[in-house]
Structure 1
């Protein structure tokens, strides 16, 4: 009987985890390669390795996680370069119509702008490049003011 219970838990757990994965990640149309939305990008080397394993990118490509061109959604995909080289003071985003990454100068960020060369596989070291909200990078001064202003307005609404 114990074997039957374990089997049920394994089957149910597999079903539930694949349902959660489908809910969190949905395939997006209009790109030259498969691109999926995600709630967050990996925030450390272990998470990066796990997500990269799930995508199992083929030779000549690499797992990537960047915002879309409108800075409104995070995207996961296998990018057709083995190494994505990124210069200091730059965050990347994926442009839909070209299916290419493009650069965003982050020198004006309050904190977290990369201070040296890095690669797409180490973007987790610079979370400011993947923490987004309200159509902007949260490390941008104007984005923070908007978030603070919105929360103050909401606080006053109940008074």
Structure 2
């Protein structure tokens, strides 16, 4: 029951984001560069290729939401996925989270954060479980059936299988 309450809190009581970071229901379609360019234009980071601040869309550090922002294009080593980290000061560059235990899809070589669209496993999160779908520990104790949260924070008794 305590896990359900914690999940309810993170889903319904959001931390404040800086003005330049926007919550979105989902990122543009992975591996579709033209969709990412359109999203960049919509957000005002038109120069996706070579600018100090480029379009990013990724999970937040809590893995319960997806955010987009114009930020610094930072290098990442293989075995990591970029994430947006909440900080008290202005955060204009993604951080990273280890993905080396993913079943598949973890970047295995050096890349820059704006290239996350090439790695769908880094974007595919299960928001109510706050984990990556490719992470084996995400469903290890739940056989990948998850309770559906109701609006009052409890479960409605049904499950969803994936």
TM-score by shorter chain over 0.5? yes
1:91 pairs with 2:81: yes
Who wins on radius of gyration, i.e. which is larger? Answer: 1
Cα separation, 2, equivalents of 1:126 and 1:106: 11
Residue 30 of structure 1: CA displacement?
3.7
The SS at the match of 1:128 is: helix
Q: What number of residue pairs does the alignment pair up? A: 124
Q: Counterparts of 1:106 and 1:131 in 2: how far apart (Å)?
A: 12
Matched with 1:68 is: 60
Higher helix fraction (1 or 2): 1
Question: Can you give the 5+ residue segments of structure 1 that lack an aligned partner in the other structure?
Answer: 1-27
Q: Answer whether contact 2:74 2:94 (CA < 8 A) is retained.
A: no
Unpaired segments ≥5 residues, structure 2: 1-14, 148-156
1:144 and 2:139 correspond:
yes
TM score, norm. by length of structure 1: 0.69
CA contact (8 A) 1:45 1:122 kept: no
Does 65-74 or 140-149 show the bigger shift? 140-149
Please give the TM-score of this superposition, normalised by the length of structure 2.
0.67
Distance 1:57 1:149 in 2: 39
CA-based RMSD of the aligned residues comes to 2.2
